[in-house]
Amino acid sequence: MATESSEGEDEGKLTGGSPNLVVDDDLREMAKKAAWSVSSFKPGNGVMSLRDDNLETYWQSDGLQPHLVNIQFQKKVKLQMVAVYVDFKLDESYTPSKICIRAGDGLHNLKEVKTVELVKPTGWVYISLSGNDPRETFVNTFMLQLGILSNHLNGRDTHVRQIKVYGPRPNPIPNQPFHFTSQEFIIYSTVR
């Protein structure tokens, strides 16, 4: 895999894709309680198809590019990675080739976080939200927007089969500098 771009620099190219979703144990899916919306959709292929955990269904846009997926959270969340399932073999010209990810407090102040170029992907494509600074491993935001800027073979509408958004798992013990995962450590981690 190649690197991705950040904040308007050279776009990175991602090739391939993974047939199985593989995520580190220290990440959790964050978008379950978010409000999802899309800029347009064909009847029967709406926003629910992005979240149904079925790789046979897909969201199909119906309008002019860019095609947008908006994910709004009730409170500010830390996000680290976006996983998108696309299938060039099945969708051909409907497959996204350039994706832009923006973050902010709402539609009025979104800023570009990443822009990636996909090269005939089939499977899960992982897009890290970390910036140029190695200390920034996540984005702290109320809203995340995925923009499909272009498709393969100059296609107009797009197919995206699944989107998952991941953030770091919280430390189960507040104000604790260490992250304990086993019950034995958690039991003895505080003094009464």
**CATH code assigned at 148:** 2.60.120.260
Does residue 173 form part of some domain? Answer: yes
> Is 181 in contact with 164 (CB distance < 8 Å)?
no
183 close to 189: Cβ distance less than 8 angstroms = no
> Is residue 107 in a domain?
yes
pLDDT for residue 9: 41
Cβ-proximal residues to 139 (8 Å cutoff; 6+ apart), any chain:
78, 79, 80, 103, 113, 129, 131
DSSP assignment letter at 185:
H
First to last CA, the chain: 49
The answer to whether residue 169 is domain-embedded is yes
Q: Is residue 140 part of a domain?
A: yes
The residue segments making up the domain with residue 57 are 5-187
SS3 of 123-148: the string is EEEEEECCCCCCCCCCEEEEEEEEEE
Q: How many residues can be counted in the chain?
A: 192
Q: For residues 151-183, b (16+ Cβ closer than 10 Å) or e, as one string?
A: bbeebebbbbbbbbbbbbeeeeeeeeeeeeeee
Compute the Cα dihedral for 120, 126, 129, 131 and give only its sign: negative
How far, CA to CA in Å, does 83 sit from each of 86, 161, 173?
A: 10, 11, 28
Name the domain count of the chain: 1
Q: What is the pLDDT along the chain (192 residues), one digit of tens a residue?
A: 333 444 444 456 776 678 888 888 889 999 888 999 999 999 999 999 999 999 999 999 999 999 999 999 999 999 999 999 999 999 999 999 999 999 999 999 999 999 999 999 999 999 999 866 556 688 999 999 999 999 999 999 999 999 999 998 876 666 666 666 677 766 766 666
CA-CA distance, 41 to 46, in Å (whole number)? Answer: 5
Q: Is residue 192 part of a domain?
A: no
Tokens of 165: 């958004």
Residue 30: C-alpha distances to residues 35, 77, 101, 111, 186 (Å): 11, 8, 16, 20, 24
